[in-house]
Chain A
Amino acid sequence: MGSSVSHAAAPPPPPPAGLAVALPPKAEEKSEKKVDYLNLPCPVPFEEIQREALMSLKPELFEGLRFDFTKGLNQKFSLSHSVYMGSTEVPSPSSGTIKVPTAHYEFGANFLDPKLMLIGRVLTDGRLNARVKCDLTDNLTLKINAQLTNEPHFSQGMFNFDYKGKDFRAQYQMGNNAFYGANYIQSVTPHLSLGSEVFWLGHQRKSGIGFAARYNTDKMVATAQAASTGIVALCYVQKVSEKVSLASDFMYNHMTRDVTSSFGYDYILRQCRLRGKLDSNGCVAAFLEERLNMGVNFILSAEIDHRKKDYKFGFGMTVGE
């Protein structure tokens, strides 16, 4: 999600987060005292630089009822049905956002292969999402994200070419609306990796450059990002024990002089996963996924905005793996 800091186009939908959270594996043996600079580990992809913080601090909060059913037909192929009934926020010109009651049914098909991944979703309100991830060679990966809508000029598509080197990663992006971007991240020490990205929006003749740094050990991850669009983002995740991790996040927008800071916890217990977050905008949110049975998860989502007096509560169930 690093690229969402730098450009105005909507970021691609995040991959579904399972119940297992893993920090990057150990870089070197504890017995080695001398750092081998020729054998550094491969860094995390540039857009996943803030992955741990985003998983802890930004769960998919929703309002209303959500029901997901995933049925595997094969080892590689599965279908999913999903129903959502509730309110969504629609930005309106007059008074900020308006809550509009919506309901939709979503049908999806997934094909998962070690070398090829195809995911498609079609909704009853006329939207189609498609994601393709294909390993062209051992090191080169092609990713395609597309979203088609009924409304004209709202469809988006993005092509990503990822190259994974020994201790670096490079990515080239091409999107509609004449969007071109590239980013590069390199491991500098076993714990530190630095990266940068550039992008160019053709239609608005806007370009930008951004820099990012990520320092991670077994127990903590600290990242910092700065972009020429005037956004500075810092975040820190500390793994307090194997079940608990705490995360905090700071974002400063120079153009709108907007500062936001948030603090959250992430408890991964055997039967449930509970994430809570407290914000400097006066927002309190919690997200609970509880395992009722084998393959049946019960979801509760709560978000209270004390400043705007906006309360959103949702519940749902996820059936299937």
Chain B
Amino acid sequence: MSSSQGRRGSLPGTSDDGKGVLSRFSSSISQSLIVSRGKRTASEAATVAKKLLWSTGRAAWIAGTTFLVLVVPLIIEMDREQQMNELEMQQASLLGAPPPSIAAPAAPK
């Protein structure tokens, strides 16, 4: 009987004040330490993540505008040059081939 009473007494929130207060005090300390550390780490992680996002955004902006100014006109001009070359080769092959062979497939159309 007395052992069950003692066991019941060791549970927190029971009438045995000394043991309950000690365990509650230590648990609250550890809990607050963990919680405060957790909070600090979370806020630092948020700052680092925000800075990383900001610098990634800035790097992406710089890379994007530099690409737009340096590379896009080059691609467009090289594409035009290639088109002109193809047109010229086509015209050269057209002029080089004898006319009847061109007129024959063109007539039924």
Contacts and interface: CB of A to CB of B under 8 A. Distances in A.
Contacts of B70: 276, 278, 284, 286
B69 A271 contact: no
A158 interface: no
B35 interface: no
Contacts of B66: 278, 284, 304, 306
Contacts of A306: 62, 65-66
A288 interface: yes
Interface residues of A, number: 18
A176 B108 CA distance: 80
A53 to B, nearest CB: 18
B80 A276 contact: no
B73 A271 contact: no
Contacts of B78: 267, 269
Contacts of B73: 274, 276, 286, 288, 300
A271 B80 contact: yes
A270 interface: yes
Dominant secondary structure of chain A at its interface with chain B: strand
Contact of B77 (A267, A302, A304): A267
A304 B61 CA distance: 12
A270 B69 contact: no
B81 A304 contact: no
Interface string A279-321: 0000011101010000000001010101000000000000000
B84 A271 contact: yes
A258 B33 CA distance: 53
A43 to B, nearest CB: 34
Interface string B67-109: 0011001100110110010000000000000000000000000
A269 B69 contact: no
A304 B74 contact: no
A270 B84 contact: yes
Nearest to A311: B65
Contacts of B81: 269-271
A285 B62 CA distance: 13
A272 interface: yes
Contacts of A286: 69-70, 73
Interface in A96-131: none
Given A270-B84, A271-B81, A300-B73, 19 more contacts: A267-B77, A269-B78, A269-B81, A270-B81, A271-B80, A272-B80, A274-B73, A274-B77, A276-B70, A276-B73, A278-B66, A278-B70, A284-B65, A285-B69, A286-B73, A288-B73, A302-B69, A304-B65, A306-B62
21 contacts: A265-B74, A267-B74, A269-B77, A270-B81, A270-B84, A271-B77, A272-B77, A274-B73, A274-B74, A276-B73, A276-B74, A278-B70, A284-B65, A284-B70, A285-B69, A286-B73, A288-B73, A288-B77, A300-B73, A304-B66, A306-B62
Which A-B residue pairs are the 5 nearest by beta carbons?
A276-B70, A269-B81, A284-B66, A286-B69, A302-B69
